[in-house]
Copies of this chain bind each other. A is one copy, B any other.
C-alpha cells in the first residue's frame, strides 16, 4: 500500500529534477570545482552566516561521517557517541575501519549531555587508553528527538572545556530545524559546532550531504579523494543544494514531512497506541500489538521493526518524507483502525 520504511524511498523533488535537466549538457570541470558548486557554497555560507566556513559536498551520510572523523582525529584519538549513535551501530564499523574507537555512553533519549560526555572523558586518563577527542551527535537523533539551542550551547561549552571537537550529523536536519520544538538555526549550528552537515538524501535530493566545516582542515579534499568520496560530476551536488536552499524549498518540504508525521502520530495515538519516546520530527515510534503489525504487513504497508516490546508487542518505526501524500496517511489510519 505505502512504505513508511524511510525518507529516501522515492527519487528527487521535481524542482531539483528540473534543475538537473535544465543544466544537463553544460560542460564543467569535475570534482566540485565548478561554478554551480561555487554558487551553492556561497548560498550555504550566507544561510549559515559563516563567510569563512569550508563547504564540501559528499554523496552520503556514512561517507561523510567517516571522512569528517578521520580527518579531524589523530590515530590515538576517539569519538564519544550515544549508544544509539548512527556511527556506533549502523555503519558496519566504518569509523573503526579508519582506526578510531567509538566510546559510547547510554543516553535514554538518544541525546548527549555535558554530564554524559564528561563521564567518558573522565574514564580516559592515560596513554594506555584512547584519548576522546570528538563528540558525535545527530539532529534529529536516531530516536527522532532534537536538540534545543540551550542544550547545544551547553555541549559546546563542555567541548571547549575539554578540548573536544563537536560534530553534528544532519542527515535529518531538515526535519529537526522545522520541528515545532526547534529553536536552532543554520547560523547557530555553524557557530556552535566544528562541523555539521545539511542532509540532502533524506530531504528531497537524489543524494548528497552538504558539509559545513569550521575546524581548520585544509587538506579535506585529499581525505575525500582517498576515501573515494569525490564525485566526478560534482556539480550534480551543487545544483541540487542550490535548488533546495536558494529560496527555502529545503525547509518547506521538511515541514511537510513533519506535518505528515504528526498527522500519523495523532491518528495512531487516537487509536490508543502508546509512543514511549515522544518525537517532534518525521520519525515516529509507536508500540503496536504483534497481531496488528502482521495485519499491516499483509495489507502491504512497509515499515521497520525497532525492537520487540515483551512477547506480544513491537515498537515499530514510521518515517514520512517530502513525498508523503496526506491521503496515504489517512488511508493508513483507516486501515489501522480496522485491524483487530
A interface residues, Cβ below 8 angstroms from B: 2-3, 5-6, 8-12, 14, 17, 20-21, 23-30, 59-67, 70-71, 74-76, 78, 89-94, 96-102, 127-131, 201-202, 206-207, 219, 221-233, 236, 302, 323
Q: Chain B residue with minimal CB distance to A127?
A: B221
Contact indicator B228/A94 (Cβ below 8 Å): yes
Max count, chain B CB within 10 A of own CB: residue among A29, A60, A78, A226: A226
Q: Which B residues are CB-close (under 8 A) to A233?
A: 8, 11, 201, 206-207
* Partner among B3, B202, B223, B230 whose Cβ is within 8 Å of the Cβ of A75: B223
Q: Which B residues are CB-close (under 8 A) to A65?
A: 228
Rounded to whole angstroms, the CA-CA distance of A67 and B233 in the bound complex is 21
* Partner among B21, B94, B228, B323 whose Cβ is within 8 Å of the Cβ of A60: B228
Contact indicator B99/A228 (Cβ below 8 Å): no
Number of copies: 4
Contact indicator A232/B8 (Cβ below 8 Å): yes
Rounded to whole angstroms, the CA-CA distance of A6 and B234 in the bound complex is 13
Q: Which B residues are CB-close (under 8 A) to A302?
A: 29
Contact indicator A219/B2 (Cβ below 8 Å): no
Interface SS of A by simple majority: loop
Rounded to whole angstroms, the CA-CA distance of A200 and B141 in the bound complex is 35
Q: Which B residues are CB-close (under 8 A) to A23?
A: 11
Chain B nearest CB from A84 CB (Å) reads 12
Rounded to whole angstroms, the CA-CA distance of A232 and B63 in the bound complex is 11
Contact indicator B11/A232 (Cβ below 8 Å): no
Q: Chain B residue with minimal CB distance to A100?
A: B96
Q: Which B residues are CB-close (under 8 A) to A236?
A: 11, 206-207
Contact indicator A76/B92 (Cβ below 8 Å): yes
Q: Which B residues are CB-close (under 8 A) to A94?
A: 225-228
Q: Which B residues are CB-close (under 8 A) to A10?
A: 24-27
Q: Which B residues are CB-close (under 8 A) to A29?
A: 3, 5, 9, 302
Rounded to whole angstroms, the CA-CA distance of A91 and B23 in the bound complex is 28
- What are 12 A-B contacts with C-beta separation under 8 Å? A9-B30, A11-B236, A17-B20, A17-B24, A60-B230, A66-B228, A92-B222, A127-B219, A127-B221, A128-B225, A131-B222, A228-B229
